[in-house]
Homo-oligomer: A and B are copies of this chain.
Amino acid sequence: MPKLDAEKLELFVRELFRVAEVPDEHAAIVAEHLVTSSMMGMHSHGLMRVTEYLSYIQDGRINIHAEPHVLRDTQASMVIDYGYYLGPVCANDAIDRAMAKAKEYGIACISARRSAHVARLGAYTERAAHAGFVALAFCNSGKHGHFVAPWGGREGRLATNPISFAIPTDDTAVICSDFSTAAIPEGKIRLSLQQKKMLPESAVIRHDGASSNDPADFYGPPRGAIAPFGGSVGYRGFALGFLVEVLGGLLGGTGMLDEAAGNGLGFILIEPGFFADREAFTALVREARDYVKSSPAAQGFSEVLMPGEPEFLACQRVLREGIELPDPIWESILEQAAALKLEVPDDLEVTFRTRMQEPIR
């Protein structure tokens, strides 16, 4: 597992997309997104996707010639069709438009259709929170991703449908939550199957409708389903998953039975300055955060961390120490570079020497 310099790696990934004919400013957005997700330890929303995105560009599932089409534009709302352009670029564009509207009206809602895979939803709410907005985001997927059973059901009817929200602070770390409305992501079930490990209790539903913690019961055959999140109150996770369909899909006109690929997005942004004094609001957020964090730790924990804080700390550590990238992901990126005839810079790896030099500078 190589340890790579995050900043240099980002430049290299950007170059990969640029060579694949993605405009440089968009290649930069995608590279920054994927490297940051990997810095947070989320390779499945990070560098694991480099190969996938590049192959989708090749076969046209990502259309790098698409332009955003505004289907409907009112004062505080907008519907945009992105025609399967690169997800992180679409989502950044949509949230930027939402910010402009929320700045003027205090609140805004944007529905984005047919974006290609947007990867880490929290990146976009975070972006808005850094600019001072309270942001909520809902992201659905097409019918092919319907692995998650409704509460009380045994067949998949929903995708893992994540929800994210972020809250501005007076600090460099905003408060950001980003989670799936399924009990467990499909990727983790696959990993547990490979490692012959059991899942958390009742994480999946067997084809005959029985609860199970065996990853093999999900894959079958016959195929099972993933449970909605919430355990014995899984009707809550189901309800949230359905809300994601409404705000991420139906609102923009995409039905649950449409064979749409990629992601549908719903963004709701609030400008706190329209409600109370903006500085007073950030002061209240600080007070709330300090108060919540002042709870002594439960057993098995060392302290209370706010939503997004573990990921923020992981990024800071990686900036000092380098990204540890699993060999298969790194090898797949090297293959792409070879195929695109792009030379790999020889200073990507963080060496012992580099790290030792740092205190001297």
- A residues apposed to B, CB below 8 Å: 72, 74-77, 79, 105-109, 111, 134, 149-158, 165, 167, 175, 177, 179, 183, 200, 205, 208-211, 229-233, 235-236, 238-240, 242-243, 245-247, 249-257, 268, 270, 272, 274-276, 280-281, 284-285, 287-288, 291-299, 301, 303-307
Contact = CB atoms under 8 A, between A and B. Distances in A.
Each complex incorporates copies of this chain amounting to 2
A106 B76 contact: yes
A274 B158 contact: no
A234 to B, nearest CB: 10
Contacts of A251: 134, 270, 272, 275-276, 281
Nearest to A310: B235
A235 to B, nearest CB: 7
Contact of A288 (B77, B240, B255, B291): B255
B274 A72 contact: yes
Interface SS majority for chain A = mixed
A236 to B, nearest CB: 5
Contact of A134 (B208, B246, B296, B306): B246
A322 to B, nearest CB: 27
B292 A242 contact: yes
A172 B120 CA distance: 38
A253 B229 contact: no
Contacts of A233: 179, 183, 229
Given A151-B304, A255-B287, A288-B245, A208 B299 contact: yes
Nearest to A232: B200
Given A134-B247, A304-B151, A79 B275 contact: yes
A109 B111 contact: no
B255 A284 contact: yes
Given A296-B209, A307-B242, A268 B107 contact: yes
B274 A74 contact: yes
